[in-house]
Structure 1
Amino acid sequence: MLSFPTQLAAATNNAYARVFSYCLGDRDARAESPTSSYLVFGRATDPPGAAFTPMRTSARKPSQYVVDMVGFSVDGAPVVLTGADDLALDPATGRGGVVVDSGATVSRFALHTYAALRDAFDARATAAGMRNVRENISVYDACYDLPTTTTARVPAVALHFAGGADVLLPRRNYLVPVESRGRTYYCFGFMGFEPNSADERSTLGNVQQQGFHIVFDEERERIGFAPNGC
């Protein structure tokens, strides 16, 4: 009964079917031409192009919306991950899995997982002629000096979820403009954390979610991602 959709369903004789969806507009949209965001309660036809993955339940954090990821790819090549499988929920311990969280800004993954993704992106970016400035800018440790992202050859990044749900991110969802020393740099918009706590869990933040119509379907126990949703 913690979530608003569950309470709404109980108060309305399940008229809203424990389903809600939203789309987060472009955070960099100009004031005179903003991209609209929205939040909708109730079941509707699945949005075009939606890819669904099972919604997992964590006994440790039952109020969170958790999914399993199976990996990443850069320019279509799978990223080789090493170490523990932290992207999938372990039902015995309640650890692992990825929280879909609109309140978090940047997606965070265990450090070894993040480093593998970052290094795979950087290798492709360097081969494409993107210049890594080789210093931390703000909270990011992989930033590039580009005249503009529209003319640069930027490697494609995709997220792969359980159940065959593949989400290809627009470049604005993973190249974040950051001002430093009077210039704009473009930083790889993910972060890593040291997995030293049972409460730490990978998170899919709102930077990566922007522009997608995201469906939270508690009745069918699934979460869907549809591109070009706003």
Structure 2
Amino acid sequence: MHSTVVRVQNVFGFFTTVAFCVAAVIALSVIVNPQSPSASVQLRNVQVVRGRPHYYSYKKEEYAHIKFNLDTDLSTLFNWNTKQVFLYLKAIYPSSKPNTPPSEAIIWDAILPASSAPNHQNYYIHPNPKKSQTKKPSKNKNAKSKAKRDESPYPRGELHLQNQRPKYQITDITGRLQNRTDVVLELGWNVQPWVGALVWANKVDFGVWEGLKGGVSERFKFPEIKTKKEGDLGTEKGGEKNRGKPA
């Protein structure tokens, strides 16, 4: 006759085996879920300015400020095992040294949650295009409309951003960016599942998963630094409450 400790060990071992098998089935089941992501990225404006990396630095570096249009349909990335999608837009340009990989720098990112994910202050809040056209609500209606402010005006996975300011100004390790050619903007993402491995953006077809259609802008050039700054050179963090804490 087995002792109590042996019985507990047998029950725990059986439970962990069943839990592992169920998790493996859930993680592999997403392969049969069709995916057909699409995106369009267009450059609106790019400027190169000179500034200091921090307040106490005496050395100035060149920074690129890039505005863009972004339209995406990533609704097929969300399934029963999707917790959130980390979306990012990066600038890719040739390195200053020959025979080296091109440089990449992220200018904008967003965390898109699934409907089953718990609410978090780091999740991306899509700007409402009708907000500027509506009247400012009175104070007694603020409490009622507070819950509706964070809802996206588009279906989950769809983004429609026009003349969007970057979240990050980018620089190069050499401190120089002006007159760099063959620069492109490219969209990428990571799908974080509830169970399983992190899935990166796929560019080619894999079974019922279609590769990303579009998602790359036309090539452009970083212009020369102008003596006078033109236009808005600010960044935009979005409607998220606190980007310093992990999601």
Q: TM-score, normalised by structure 1?
A: 0.28
Task: With the length of structure 2 as denominator, give the TM-score of the two structures.
Answer: 0.27
